[in-house]
Chain A
Amino acid sequence: GAGVSQSPSNKVTEKGKDVELRCDPISGHTALYWYRQSLGQGLEFLIYFQGNSAPDKSGLPSDRFSAERTGGSVSTLTIQRTQQEDSAVYLCASSLVGGGQQPQHFGDGTRLSIL
């Protein structure tokens, strides 16, 4: 499809395991964003990519979280040694260009549950 694609849709894993979440942005979109949202809460910014660079990673909650983007396209968000408080919906968005002048388009999200 033409939208932002995220995989997996749902992920259940045991505490302490590593997880990798994937985001395929809209073709041609240079900016990519990761957010997470806990149930009933607002969006929490994690990291922003412009091309393959991450000029703003201020939202990553700890060093267990990392993200990369390759080829100016696909991005992966990795959470190492997962904790129960990592359980949330992880949302990816892309925009034509960075800087906030263009609206962001969201994927359906990955619902992560840590047992």
Chain B
Amino acid sequence: RKEVEQDPGPFNVPEGATVAFNCTYSNSASQSFFWYRQDCRKEPKLLMSVYSSGNEDGRFTAQLNRASQYISLLIRDSKLSDSATYLCVVNMGSNAGKSTFGDGTTLTVKP
């Protein structure tokens, strides 16, 4: 079993739709979490951190469920420009430098 798992998709949604991705992690001691987006043939870019209480940034909402060991990303009112691969990242914390990236979920927003 992978340490971090994501549904690879692809998710194909119309403009304006709401779409949600989940990311499950296996290590209950994981301490910090992030969502990145990666455009085709580009480097990953930080989208948002994920806080314990959940957090929102415009149309994007991130949530953490420690009991079930998953994080989620909700995108409201999808735009064509949201088309990308979304990567979740899980870190163990201060004694471990390695971040574990999920393989990503591909989103295509269509007109």
Contacts and interface: CB of A to CB of B under 8 A. Distances in A.
Interface string A92-105: 00000011110111
B101 A42 contact: yes
A56 B96 CA distance: 8
A59 B100 CA distance: 11
B97 A43 contact: no
A100 B46 contact: no
Given A42-B104, A101-B91, A31 B98 contact: no
Contacts of A100: 31-32, 91-94, 96-99
A43 to B, nearest CB: 4
A103 B46 contact: yes
Contacts of B45: 106
B95 A99 contact: yes
A104 B49 CA distance: 11
A107 B43 contact: yes
Contact of B97 (A91, A98, A108, A109): A98
Interface residues of A, number: 25
Contact of A99 (B46, B89, B97): B97
B29 to A, nearest CB: 12
B46 A105 contact: yes
Interface of A: 31, 33, 35, 41-43, 45, 48, 50, 55-56, 58-59, 91, 98-101, 103-109
16 contacts: A33-B99, A42-B87, A42-B104, A43-B87, A56-B98, A58-B98, A99-B91, A99-B94, A99-B97, A100-B91, A100-B92, A100-B93, A100-B99, A101-B93, A101-B94, A104-B99
